[in-house]
């Protein structure tokens, strides 16, 4: 009788112990899951999906990265939204040459999260009306996700072949305002707006993943451009466009890095990446 009771007691104790062990496992898994940050997940996905070459990314890789980036928030990267009242009242379209200096009065902050041979993860934090001028991403794929605020993006793709040696014809690919509710935007080595300009409509921050990263030794040098309306120049071999099409084309000329591009390094305060 005692032995039956002992066996029954042992079985109950084993069941209870299993429940405890299961409970401990669930709590441990939950804690580890919470500790696994979005930035760590992003790093891991980039590390396993991206290469140091300019070879095209698979559609699955692009989908996976966009799906993850669409879920991130400022808090995932240790960011706090800038004071929304910090609006100097210029906006991206109401700025005159007279108050041009005010446009650059506050710097854009560049936060380096990770930089490797295959990819770079970084954040640009913009005060209102600040601008990153028109520039290119040679041989690169770039994922951009607005974390907070509003950002106007104007982007072009090259038209081939080039019709004038000193200037190249480009077609407008993107001209819109992005917010935190917008999906991740992607530009490719030759399409999707490889040459783009950012203008802050309000204080904002954008998360960028660049693959492969800029590397002058490998021909991936950042070049700045000025865009001129299509009608500015004439060329015998330029394409014939109707009035509606003309608005979508511009001549792009290389310029030196603008002296008034005011950018400073920031400190990353989000979760550490386990490399």
Give residue limits of the domains in the chain.
Answer: 38-82+104-264
What is the pLDDT, as a whole number, of residue 170? 94
Work out the number of other CB atoms within 10 angstroms of the CB of residue 109. 18
Q: Residue 207's pLDDT is what?
A: 98
CA–CA gap between residue 2 and residue 162 (Å, rounded):
95
pLDDT score at 165: 65
Q: Global pTM?
A: 0.79
38-82+104-264: CATH superfamily: Jelly Rolls (2.60.120.10)
Percentage of residues in the chain with pLDDT exceeding 90? 65
Helices (H), ranges, the chain: 2-35, 38-49, 59-69, 100-103, 243-246
CA distance 85 to 105: 16
End-to-end CA distance of the chain: 60
Chain segment 176-227, per-residue pLDDT in tens: 999 999 999 999 999 999 999 999 999 999 999 999 999 999 999 999 999 9
H or E element in which residue 63 lies: helix 59-69
Please write the tens of the pLDDT for every residue from 71-119. 999 999 999 765 444 444 333 334 444 444 444 458 999 999 999 999 9
According to the model, what pLDDT value does residue 33 have?
39
């Amino acid at each position: 009788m005692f032995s039956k009771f002992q066996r029954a007691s042992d079985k109950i104790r084993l069941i209870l112990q299993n429940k405890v062990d299961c409970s401990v496992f669930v709590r441990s898994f939950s804690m580890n899951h919470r500790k696994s940050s979005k930035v760590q997940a992003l790093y891991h996905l980039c590390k396993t999906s991206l290469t140091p070459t300019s070879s095209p990314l698979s559609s699955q890789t692009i989908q996976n990265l966009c799906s993850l980036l669409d879920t991130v928030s400022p808090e995932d990267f240790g960011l706090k939204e800038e004071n929304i009242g910090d609006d100097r009242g210029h906006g991206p379209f109401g700025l005159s040459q007279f108050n041009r200096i005010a446009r650059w009065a506050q710097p854009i902050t560049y936060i380096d999260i990770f930089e490797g041979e295959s990819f770079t993860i970084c954040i640009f934090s913009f005060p209102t009306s600040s601008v990153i001028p028109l520039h290119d991403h040679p041989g690169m794929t770039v994922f951009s996700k607005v974390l907070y605020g509003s950002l106007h993006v104007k982007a072009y793709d090259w038209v081939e072949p080039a019709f004038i040696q000193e200037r190249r014809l480009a077609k407008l690919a993107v001209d819109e305002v992005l917010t935190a509710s917008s999906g991740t935007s992607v530009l490719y080595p030759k399409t999707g707006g490889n040459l783009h300009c950012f203008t802050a409509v309000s204080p904002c921050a954008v998360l960028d993943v660049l693959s492969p990263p800029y590397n002058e030794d490998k021909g991936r040098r950042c070049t700045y451009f000025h865009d001129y309306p299509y009608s500015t120049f004439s060329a015998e071999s330029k394409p014939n466009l109707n009035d509606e099409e003309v608005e979508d084309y511009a001549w792009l000329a290389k310029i030196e890095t603008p002296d008034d591009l005011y950018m400073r390094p920031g400190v990353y305060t989000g979760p550490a990446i386990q490399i």
